[in-house]
Structure formats: C-alpha cells, structure tokens
C-alpha cells in the first residue's frame, strides 16, 4: 500500500537545528553523519488534539540510543520538546500529525567514518506532516515473509533505534514485488521478530494475546502500550519466541506502531487469518482502549 501525498504538506516548514525552512529549501550538509554513514537515531511521534502521545517515552528512547552511539552534546528533553512546539506552531498543526524526529551525530569537518571528525555537536531535525494512520484497517494487511533476517543482538543491539534501515527497506522491496502491504521478518533462529515497519501480535484461540520478544527488534512504544492495556484490562498476554506457524493458525493477528496505531492482518503468505472478521473482537477492544488513551493522555505541545 503506497501512502498518498497530502496536499497540506506541500509547503511544510522543516526544523533543522532550530532553523525553520520550506521543505523544498531544507538541506542537511553532505558532511552530516546521517548522510555519510546513516549515523543517527530517530523517533516517530503522533499528535492528537495538540498533545504528543508518550512524548517522554519517545524522548527517553532517543536519548538512550544517542548515549549508546556515544553522541556528544545530546540535547535535553526540554530543548527537543520546545523545537517540536515551534515546528507545530509554524505549520499551524494540531491533530492528525506525524512527526519524524531525527538526531544525527552532526556535521563532520571532513568526509570519513571516524566520530572524532564530528566537532560541532549533533543535528536535530523535526519533520512534522499531516498524516493520519497509514493502514487500511477495514480491509486489513496482507503480509509475506521476507528472506531478510533481523540482526541478533550480538551483531547489532536492537535497543539502538538507529537510522540505518536497509534491512527494512530490502524486506519492503520483497513485499512490494509480491503485491503485499508489508513483510514479516524473522530472527536468526527462525522465529518472528516484527515486520519491516511494525511489531506483530497474535491472538490465540483462548483469547491470549502473544507477541515476540524484542531480542531482534526495537522496543516499541505502541507495543508496550498494548501490553499494558492487556494487563490493565485482564487480557491474558505473553511475550516469547513465536513461530510463523503460530501466526498462520492464530485467531487474530494485528500490528502496532506509532505511524499506523493498531491494524489488523488479514493474511500471511497467502494464508487467511482466523475467520476473516476484521478487526477481530480482541483487536477491536484493544483498539478502542488505545483510542481512549490517545484522546485523553499526552503532553500538550500546542
């Protein structure tokens, strides 16, 4: 499914290190670490009626990634939140907005891999777009299994939410060629990790919600929210190694992420999920509880 261009985004102002510039004039230096080597961390945020949902959790994850990458002069939460407010106000945005927040190691004095070439501090990019949840929830998603495996933690720690998304892009290419919406990605042991863009959940026949561990994928903010909702509403849930066969035979499957919230899956590798009801009853209840949260919680930013 290809995202449609929203004409309201034609004249966006993008925030680059505090400078608000038109999207067509915005520029990042060719010496910036993100350009030189994908050396950056990122977050996706969503704005609901002037509030950013789970803002502190996202900023914590961004800072944790920057610390793990040994960035210098990491901006404070307060500074980043202030730049988010400036960007939203400049674009007159309040609802139905997605923010791509990027923190790079910064500009190098000369081309090269060595972080010692970064001597001016990080680059902060705030890109806010009019963008409602991107998935068609009424028809559900079709998934295929990618041949691209997620790195295990002994190769790349998934707790670093880095900007090098080549694995995901390669998996998405396979999904596009297969005519599917997204691709399931496995870990090195053959268990399901996530999709190229979202975390995955299944509902077993006894209404138990299950999701893979995060040993080969990032710690999702929406994923954690769903698990918390399960505990809060006494829905049985578990985290563990989950195989493709368990997803094939599940009563329901859904994916989670800030960009698309909760979205049901209708088929995986050509196998229809459950009885075809979309969304299934458990997915529907979790979606309703999630919507209640996003309509009442979050940090006011505009």
What's the sign of the alpha-carbon dihedral 268, 264, 170, 118? negative
Q: Give the residue with greater pLDDT, 269 vs 136.
A: 269
Least confident of 90-94, 153-157, 212-216, 298-302: 298-302
For 77-105, the pLDDT digits (tens) are 999 999 999 999 999 999 999 999 999 99
Instruction: List phi, psi (to 5°) of 193.
Output: -100, -60
Q: Which of 130, 154, 177 is the last residue of a domain?
A: 130
Contact, 185 vs 146, CB < 8 A? Answer: yes
Q: Is residue 302 part of a domain?
A: no
Q: Which of 96, 130, 164 is the last residue of a domain?
A: 130
Residues 153 and 27 in one domain: no
Residues 145 and 89 in one domain: no
Residue matched to tokens 């090269």? 112
Residues 243 and 112 in one domain: no
Residues 118 and 196 in one domain: no
For 14-60, the pLDDT digits (tens) are 999 999 999 999 889 999 999 999 999 999 999 999 999 999 999 99
Q: What is the mean pLDDT of residues 273-279?
A: 93
For a pLDDT cut of 70, what percent of the chain falls above it?
A: 100
Q: How many CB atoms neighbour CB 85 within 10 A?
A: 16
Residues 105 and 184 in one domain: no
pLDDT interval class at 273 (50, 70, 90): very high
The pLDDT assigned to 136 comes to 84
Range of the domain at 240: 141-296
Residues 22 and 106 in one domain: yes
For 199-225, the pLDDT digits (tens) are 999 999 878 999 999 999 999 999 999
Q: What is the mean pLDDT of the chain?
A: 96
Return the closest-CA partner of residue 250 out of 236, 233, 234, 271.
Answer: 271
Measured distance CA(254)–CA(200) in Å, rounded: 6
Residue 137 has pLDDT above 90, yes or no: no
pLDDT interval class at 4 (50, 70, 90): confident
What's the sign of the alpha-carbon dihedral 258, 264, 270, 271? positive
Q: Is residue 249 part of a domain?
A: yes
Q: Is residue 135 part of a domain?
A: no
Residues 48 and 92 in one domain: yes
Residues 89 and 164 in one domain: no
Contact, 182 vs 143, CB < 8 A? Answer: yes
State how far the alpha carbon of 236 is from the alpha carbons of 225, 233, 262, 293, in Å: 15, 9, 18, 20
Q: Is residue 148 part of a domain?
A: yes
Instruction: List phi, psi (to 5°) of 131.
Output: -160, 100
Least confident of 129-143, 212-226, 247-261, 280-294: 129-143
The pLDDT assigned to 96 comes to 96
CATH number of the domain that residue 122 is part of: 3.30.470.10
The pLDDT assigned to 3 comes to 80
For a pLDDT cut of 90, what percent of the chain falls above it?
A: 93
The pLDDT assigned to 205 comes to 81
Looking at the structure of the chain, the number of domains it has is 2
CATH number of the domain that residue 189 is part of: 3.20.10.10
Q: Which of 82, 107, 130 is the last residue of a domain?
A: 130
């Amino acid at each position: 499914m290809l995202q449609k261009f929203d004409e309201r985004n034609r004249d966006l102002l993008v925030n680059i290190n505090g400078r608000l510039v038109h999207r067509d004039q915005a520029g990042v230096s060719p010496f910036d670490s993100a350009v030189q080597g994908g050396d950056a961390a990122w977050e996706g945020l969503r704005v609901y009626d002037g509030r950013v949902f789970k803002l502190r959790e996202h900023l914590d994850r961004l800072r944790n990634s920057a610390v793990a990458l040994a960035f210098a002069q990491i901006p404070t939460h307060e500074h980043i939140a202030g730049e988010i407010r400036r960007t939203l106000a400049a674009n007159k945005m309040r609802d139905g907005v997605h923010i791509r927040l990027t923190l790079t190691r910064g500009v190098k004095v000369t081309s090269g891999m060595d972080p010692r070439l970064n001597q001016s501090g990080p680059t902060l990019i705030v890109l806010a777009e009019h963008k409602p949840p991107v998935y068609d929830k009424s028809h559900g998603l079709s998934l295929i299994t990618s041949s691209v495996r997620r790195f295990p933690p002994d190769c790349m720690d998934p707790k670093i939410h880095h900007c090098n998304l080549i694995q995901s892009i390669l998996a998405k290419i396979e999904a596009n060629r297969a005519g599917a919406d997204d691709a399931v990605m496995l870990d090195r042991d053959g268990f399901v990790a996530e999709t190229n863009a979202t975390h995955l959940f299944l509902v077993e026949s006894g209404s138990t919600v299950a999701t893979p561990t995060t040993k080969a994928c990032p710690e999702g903010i929406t994923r954690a929210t769903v698990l918390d909702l399960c505990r809060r509403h006494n829905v049985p849930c578990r985290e563990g190694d989950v195989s493709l066969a368990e997803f094939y035979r599940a009563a329901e499957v859904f994916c989670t992420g800030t960009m698309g919230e909760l979205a049901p899956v209708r088929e995986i590798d050509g196998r229809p999920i459950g009885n075809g009801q979309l969304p299934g009853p458990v997915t529907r209840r979790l979606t309703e509880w999630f919507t209640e949260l996003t309509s009442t919680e979050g940090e006011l930013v505009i």
